[in-house]
Structure 1
Amino acid sequence: MPLFIGLMSGTSLDGIDAALVDIVDSRPARLLATRAVAMPEALRRQLLYLCHARQVDLAELAAAEEAFCRLQAQAVNDLLESQQLTAEHISALGSHGQTIEHAPFGHTPGSSPYTWQLDNPSLLAELTRIRVVADFRRRDLAAGGQAAPLAPAFHDALFRSDDDWQLVLNLGGFANLTLLPPRASDARVIGFDTGPANVLLDAWYQRHQEGRFDRDGQWAASGKVLPALLERLLDEAFFHRPPPKSTGREVFHLNWLDARLEGQERPRDVQATLAELSAASIAGGIELAQETAQAPGVSRLYPCGGGAHNRDLVTRLKRYLPDTEIISPDTLGWPADWLEAGAFAWLAARRLDHLPGNLPEVTGAKGPRVLGGVYAP
């Protein structure tokens, strides 16, 4: 039984997710076990600083990279121990790394596109004694793609239905969608980032409340949406850009929000407006995807990522999508929190089999590409 472990740390910087996955070509990947290791506060602050720094000290960068990789190794070793497995049982680790900057259009007009995931796969291989596949995104970027999102290829392999159009919606720091046509259709898979999901909600909450995030969206639900502010936020050029497209903290951050505030808004009303921004931009993205694919209608939506647990955000989405059934991917054997880590286990397996991991119609690359570099233990 070929076993892989996918490692994911998202833009929310809350910790390392490790997913043990059984991958055989003849059937969809199966999630066998999981392990989450929380991000130490000092490392979280250090990584968050790096995400917004214009200049960095190389020693500080190296220290953050080593601490991050040791946390990944802890997640792997804890998972193996919990399942009474050893390194020899695992074919490879698929390590996404920690995104520090993602600028698929360049940092400034006319500059070269780039994406940077902090990682040290050589150290990870040394610490775990397992082969590591890493640096998945830059091969797609080299081929003219956005390097994101990569998960739609995994969603296609896992969730496509015989008869219905379906959506998979990842609600991490940022939201990205995958529109899956029926198997019998000639239509292509569509996927792209729609904008912020939790990144602004978390940052605003941390500025005004105690804790890292607004549990269940309770604080947002206690406020009221400010229509004029929402209109200013939705005026951001990214929302009106056609796919392929992806985004990150380089566009959406607290300074971006502050520049659009008048100053007298109640913090809870801003939080409500940010939740509405996420829901409205996602709904707009879904409408754009359906128009692009000429999809007659989407019967089911599977939300995943941390935002799938935000009751207020999901309630707002339901108001925008009254004719779409929102179903937990748990019903298909994949809990909402583990799809992203599972995707990088699957991408590692694709790399070892010399198979493409990207969908050019999603990322905009010139064609299918084998993604990732391999690091021996």
Structure 2
Amino acid sequence: MSCMESQPPAAELFIGTLSGTSVDGIDAALVRFGERPELVATHSLAFPPELKAELLALGRPGDNEIDRLGRADVTLGRLFARAVNELLAKAGVASAAVRAVGSHGQTIRHRPGFDPAFTLQIGDPNVIAAESGITVVADFRRKDLALGGQGAPLVPAFHETVFRTKENDRVIVNLGGIANLTALPADPTAPILGFDTGPANTLLDAWARRVLGTPMDRDGALAARGHVVPGLLRAMLAEPFFGRPAPKSTGPEQFSTAWLETHLARLAAPPSDADVQATLVALTARSVADAIRALPGMGARSGKGVSPVGTEHGRDAHATPISDMGGTPMPPRKAPEVFVCGGGARNPALMRALQEELPLRKVAPTDALGVAGDWVEALAFAWLARQHVLGLPGNCPRVTGASRAAVLGAVFLPE
């Protein structure tokens, strides 16, 4: 059962831009849409250190937030416009040839569990449109929230369009700041599933900044020197989010350095910096693997719903989903293929840990499917801009929990 309506095959150029919860910079992708999306050119633009520090600070409650937010919104909008213009110069493509830019912006707060729920992304699309001369589609998440959804994850609908096959069950795992997955059954009548599974680079990068003074633990070198602290891992996996049924989403607001520090403070003796990093790698790998093991009918015991949980599962053991979303118990099938995208796919320690958690499954980057893992999300926001232009839905209600499918985003004209 597909979330998406059929799409006309006309070939057009779109640009997708975003800066993820890792807060390391902007990714911009020029995409030609025809029968399949074609990645024409890519460009990355790192955040200046002072802007990165301000964006990280705005992710936490603080003083004088309104003025700081307003300045950061415009500054970030200019940087997004610069990324678009540099991408076009690199590709040798005129701005007039691009139908629209899909800009996600930078998430400052994501509070789907609040009453009322809200989400806030900055990077003023008015500035992007004015300085690039291209129509911009932005503010993708709030329509889904207005319809009772989580506003996230939004990429599963794109994953279905690009990665679904009748040959094998597949799971696409995005290891960005937050990890999320999309389950794509081979059976075309079966619905897709998708949800956030927990933290990924947001905690790994935060710990690297603290103890190494670097933006990340490059190649997972620090984690590779450490050992998992079992008590710390068990305590972190007891976080209620992991046992909550889908639909669900989360962010750095929940899995913050303060959250980590609370768990570290409860230990009898402080672990080494490397041991903490190794345990954070294990946290991501275990929470993702538990979520995959609990997917109905995809190689695990299957019940009526999805509730990824399990601090005591053996590796590749069968998790029993909590009944929540409806459905019929299904017999186990061949284990699904697992393909990984996002920055975490370039972390050898994390990829190794995920493969060790899922020894019965093939785990590989989405590059093996012909789609560069670093650019899947930028491609997705180009696709979401195209969906808006064509008047087609961009969300999948079964994934986000929205009451219906909807055209996402708002248009900002360059004139």
Query: Do these two structures clear the TM 0.5 threshold for a shared fold by scoring above it?
Result: yes
Structure 1 position 201, deviation (Å): 1.0
2:62 and 2:392 mapped to 1: Cα distance? 37
1:56 and 1:323 mapped to 2: Cα distance? 52
Partner of residue 311, structure 2: none
1:352 and 1:104 mapped to 2: Cα distance? 27
Answer yes or no: is the 8 Å Cα contact 1:18–1:341 preserved in 2: yes
2:237 and 2:124 mapped to 1: Cα distance? 37
Answer yes or no: is the 8 Å Cα contact 1:31–1:333 preserved in 2: no
The aligned runs of 1:51-62 (5 Å cut-off) are: 51-62=59-70
2:133 and 2:335 mapped to 1: Cα distance? 45
Partner of residue 370, structure 1: 407
The aligned runs of 1:287-302 (5 Å cut-off) are: 287-290=293-296, 291=302, 292=305, 294=330, 296-302=333-339
Match of 1:179 among 170, 183, 189: 183
Partner of residue 8, structure 1: 18
Structure 1 position 340, deviation (Å): 0.3
Please identify which structure carries the higher helix content. Answer: 1
Matched, 1:145 2:149: yes
Matched, 1:221 2:224: yes
1:88 and 1:312 mapped to 2: Cα distance? 44
1:272 and 1:57 mapped to 2: Cα distance? 35
Structure 1 position 352, deviation (Å): 0.5
Structure 1 position 23, deviation (Å): 1.3
Instruction: Give the TM-score taking structure 1 as reference length.
Output: 0.95
1:75 and 1:123 mapped to 2: Cα distance? 12
Partner SS for 2:151: coil
Structure 1 position 338, deviation (Å): 0.1
2:335 and 2:413 mapped to 1: Cα distance? 43
Structure 1 position 289, deviation (Å): 2.4
% identical aligned pairs: 46
Instruction: List per-residue Cα deviations over 1:290-329 (Å, max 9, x = no partner).
Output: 4448562443111100000000011010111111112222
1:82 and 1:37 mapped to 2: Cα distance? 13
Structure 1 position 268, deviation (Å): 1.2
Task: List gaps (5 residues or longer) in structure 2.
Answer: 1-10, 297-301, 307-329
Matched, 1:168 2:178: no
Structure 1 position 54, deviation (Å): 4.2
2:68 and 2:263 mapped to 1: Cα distance? 33
Answer yes or no: is the 8 Å Cα contact 2:99–2:135 preserved in 1: yes
- Read off the aligned partner of 1:136 and give its amino acid letter: F
Partner SS for 1:35: strand
Structure 1 position 55, deviation (Å): 4.3
Runs of 4+ in structure 1 off by over 6 angstroms are none
Match of 2:341 among 283, 298, 304: 304
Partner of residue 130, structure 1: 134
Partner SS for 2:295: helix
Match of 2:392 among 333, 342, 355: 355
RMSD (Å), alpha carbons? 1.3
The worse-fitting range, judged by mean Cα deviation, of 285-294 and 2-11 is 285-294
1:151 and 1:370 mapped to 2: Cα distance? 14
- Read off the aligned partner of 2:276 and give its amino acid letter: V
Tell me: CA distance 1:339–1:179, structure 2 relative to 1, closer, same or farther (3 Å): same
Match of 1:155 among 151, 154, 159: 159
Partner of residue 267, structure 1: 273
The aligned runs of 1:1-377 (5 Å cut-off) are: 1-24=11-34, 27-106=35-114, 111-182=115-186, 184-261=187-264, 262=267, 264-290=270-296, 291=302, 292=305, 294=330, 296-377=333-414
Answer yes or no: is the 8 Å Cα contact 2:179–2:200 preserved in 1: yes
Structure 1 position 267, deviation (Å): 1.6
Task: List gaps (5 residues or longer) in structure 1.
Answer: none
